Amino acid sequence: MSRFKFTAGPWNCNEGTEAFGPAVRPVVDIESKFAKFAEIGMSGVQFHDDDAVPDMNNMTEKQIIDYAKDMKATLDKYGLVAEFVAPRLWMDPHTTDGGFTSNSKEDYDFAMWRAHRSIDIANAMGAKNIVLWLAREGTLCAESKDPVQKIGQLIDSIDDMLTYDDKIKVLIESKPNEPIDRSYCGTIGHVMAVSAASKDPKRVGAVLESAHAILAGLDPANEMAFALKFGKLGSVHLNDQNGCRYDQDKSFGVESLRGAFNQIKVLCDNNYGANGEMVGLDVKAMRTQKPEDQYRHLENSMKIAIELEKKVEKFDKEFQAKCIAERNYEKLEMYVMELLMGLV
């Protein structure tokens, strides 16, 4: 039994389409995904706005809210909750050069419309958070934007969301690059600065994705710790990454089990989840995976996280303190490795 409540998004079960190859699995309808999520032990679902309300650009505000309420009824059917709603701006032609930091007023206005609708959808589905993955908020050409002005524009956008709804929380998911070249909000430190500059810092927090921290050359557990210290860690996306390449969304712990252990440890040690925070698994199936077994990456990730919880519970803090007092870090490091290998 885990202390954590796990979530995943509909995109975590996909057709395997990529930049270099077409779909290799058939489309799965969203209700079938909900049913499987519930079956394997998930507690909730992460949503993009257009996961919850497809074709929302062609709907009225009332139609969007009504559709979202119907989606919530489907979630209720499987005992699931909506963890958050995120405007999927990066897929729209309006936001090829960013939305909240766009040079185009028309595109900026569209981004704000989608942000407001995401808040409406979140309210209709009972979610307390919206998530901003600022995928295209930055530059492809460094000289195309004034970075000081555009960072201010981003903060103004967030303030607008906080004004639009006086209860919603805005969680920023940091990533240093991809699809944009130079992101304006690449690390947890950047998120903390934006939060502090907002009109209501208590309602602006962070989502830390393991792979995004690795892409920034940082340690995911330390990034989590930084956000936890300031009371800003609203959600996590656990996954793994083979070095500073493209964003791989590999199953949690498959590249660095010790790194995964330390992520679970910092969450457990700091009582993450006590205020309703959930643990997202943002992992994707390998393209080689057959349709009948395309949820295994989620099951594997959840199993690894739960088993690492048990390792954290077994961790000998008295032995740790003794090693620290002696500065015998070689001894402590070997203890951790033996713990992970099941030798202690």
Domain boundaries along the sequence of the chain: 6-313
Q: How far is CA 187 from the centre of its chain?
A: 13
Beta-bridge partners for 233? 206
At residue 236, the pLDDT reads 98
Q: Peptide bond preceding 179: is omega within 30 degrees of 0, i.e. cis?
A: yes
- What mean pLDDT do residues 245-274 have? 98
Closest CA to 34 of 66, 82, 86: 82
Q: How far is CA 134 from the centre of its chain?
A: 12
Beta carbons of 192 and 232 less than 8 angstroms apart: yes
Residue 296 pLDDT > 90: yes
Query: Distance between CA 243 and CA 34 in Å, rounded?
Result: 32
120-162: per-residue pLDDT in tens? 999 999 999 999 999 999 999 999 999 999 999 999 999 999 9
pLDDT given for residue 209 in this prediction: 98
Residue 1 has pLDDT above 90, yes or no: no
The torsion angle over the Cα atoms of residues 275, 192, 214 and 229, rounded to 10 degrees, is -50
Are 110 and 99 in contact by the 8 Å Cβ rule? The answer is yes
Q: What is the average pLDDT across 166-178? A: 98
Percent of the chain, pLDDT > 70?
100
**Partners of 132 in the β-ladder:** 172
Q: For residue range 306-344, what is the model confidence (pLDDT) as tens digits?
A: 999 999 999 999 999 999 999 999 999 999 999 999 999
Segment 87-101 mean pLDDT: 96
The residue assigned the tokens 């969203």 is: 30
Q: Which CATH architecture has domain 6-313?
A: Alpha-Beta Barrel (3.20)
Residues 173 and 137: beta-carbon distance below 8 Å: no
Report the pLDDT value the prediction gives residue 313, as an integer from 0 to 100: 98
What predicted TM-score, i.e. pTM, was given to this entire model? 0.97
Instruction: Give the confidence band of 53 by pLDDT, cuts at 50, 70, 90.
Output: very high
* pLDDT over 90 at 48, yes or no: yes
**Is the Cβ–Cβ distance between 261 and 312 less than 8 Å?**
yes
- Cα 331–chain centre separation: 35
In the predicted model, what is the mean pLDDT of residues 231-237?
Answer: 98
Q: Is the pLDDT of residue 248 over 90?
A: yes
Averaged confidence pLDDT in the chain = 98
What phi and psi, each to the nearest 5 degrees, are found at residue 126? 80, 15
Res 210 pLDDT > 90:
yes
Question: What is the mean predicted confidence (pLDDT) over 161-166?
Answer: 98
